[in-house]
Amino acid sequence: MELIRIEDVTFRYSDISDEDTGADAPKPSEETPPVFEHLDLTIEKGSFTAILGHNGCGKSTLAKHMNAILLPSGGKVYAAGIDTSDESRLFEIRRHIGMVFQNPDNQIVASIVEEDVAFALENMGVEQSVMRKRVDEALDAVGMSEFKEHSPSQLSGGQKQRVAIAGVIAMRPDCIVLDEPTAMLDPAGRREVMKTIRRLNRESGVTIVLITHYMDEAAKADRVVVMDGGKVILDDEPKNVFSNVELLKEVGLDVPQSTQLMYAMKKSGFDTADTHIINENECADYLYELLR
């Protein structure tokens, strides 16, 4: 079943009004070139999709279309069946499709962890007893229950991102769109966040759209979409996407190091090396057969 449908979407930053413009997106006086044109993409319910592309390829802009932060200049976006241009249903859309951004410090508003997680629920006017239950469940889902009475300022980056995710979870969304949630984290923080995302997907069936620059993170998704120049150039299972080593390097991306090793071996005459290998276990299995 499809959850998000992006249909023939074109988007230009010059088409949005001043009040919609974020601080880092200056309002251009003339028509700017489209970020993307006639783009189609659907996200299935319960899936885990990673979106890759170099800086400026339009992937964050696309993500912001998924919950009506941005509206298309042309074409339509349907989120949980709702046309995102229907302003009267904005809150409903945001409740279905939650979003987590790159910088954890920009997303935390309260001075106590559990109050931060409750923030959206309070705005929605959820009853106290229900709110208590949902906040506890959300903190439990991201493994942050023991910190519920802490100040967010005492938390590490990875923990803050998990609190931000809990704030979204508390609204019980169908889908979470994460725009480079690990870019500012250290390896331990990245691992925590990735584990949390995967668990939400596998155990609670939350649909995940993950925008990332880390190929090893994308390798853990069910589906990888690669964007370049405002177009989807690859869309497949991770192993099939990453086997296109040359194409990915051409568009400024990379492949997991295991895939890179397979590629380098192939080029140096090991014909059996398979560039569909994308993680260290498969890679070690292949090499074991070769070397034993």
Q: Which positions touch another protein (CB under 8 A)?
A: 53-56, 102, 156-157, 180, 183-184, 186-189, 213, 215-216, 252-254, 256-258, 260-261, 264-265, 268-270, 279-281, 283-284, 287-288, 290-292
- Chain length of the chain: 292
**Sequence-distant (≥ 6) Cβ neighbours of residue 51 within 8 angstroms:** 59, 62, 63, 209, 210, 211, 212, 224, 225, 226, 227
Q: Smallest gap, in angstroms, from Cβ of residue 170 to another protein?
A: 26
d(CA 15, CA 205): 36
72 or 158: whose CB is closer to another protein? 158
Q: Smallest gap, in angstroms, from Cβ of residue 279 to another protein?
A: 8
Q: Smallest gap, in angstroms, from Cβ of residue 70 to another protein?
A: 19
135 or 194: whose CB is closer to another protein? 194
9 or 211: whose CB is closer to another protein? 211
Q: Smallest gap, in angstroms, from Cβ of residue 78 to another protein?
A: 29
110 or 251: whose CB is closer to another protein? 251
d(CA 26, CA 12): 13
Residue 38 backbone phi and psi in degrees, to 5: 50, 50
99 or 245: whose CB is closer to another protein? 245
Residue 250, classed as helix, strand or coil, is: helix
Mark 269-283 as b/e (b = at least 16 C-beta within 10 Å).
eeeebbbebbbeebb
Q: Smallest gap, in angstroms, from Cβ of residue 244 to another protein?
A: 14
Q: Smallest gap, in angstroms, from Cβ of residue 289 to another protein?
A: 10
Find, among 217, 224, 260, 254, the residue nearest to 239 by Cα. 224
246 or 292: whose CB is closer to another protein? 292
d(CA 153, CA 173): 26
